[in-house]
Amino acid sequence: MDKDTIKIKLKIADFIHPMTIERSKEEEYRKAAKMVDRCFTNYKVHFNKSVKDDNMILSFVALDFALRFLAEKQNNDADLLREKIEGLTREIENFLKER
């Protein structure tokens, strides 16, 4: 282990995950693990006793995060398109002003 890496243990869904990560990313990993664990707990409470398999609940967590990721990606794509349209609109307006 070099000075830029650190060993940490993250608890997600009652499982301990030891890992070696970049020291600069520790806070990011801990926040991500907390988000996943919180989502897992919410699903576990929601399903109460109807779903007893933690792997099944974790698959719902994975689906939840995948859907969030796709929604965010779609928002970012729309933002990029909006920026391009605004840029083209400015260019057209400037061109018309010069004529």
Q: List pLDDT tens digits, range 49-81.
A: 788 888 899 999 999 999 999 998 888 888 888
C-alpha–C-alpha distance, residues 35 and 50, integer Å = 23
Q: Rounded to two decimals, what is the model's pTM?
A: 0.71
Split at pLDDT 50, 70, 90, the class of 1 is low
- By C-alpha distance, which of 61, 59, 16, 15 is closest to 38? 61
Provide φ and ψ at 41, rounded to 5°.
-60, -40
CA atoms within 13 A on the CB side of 97: 6
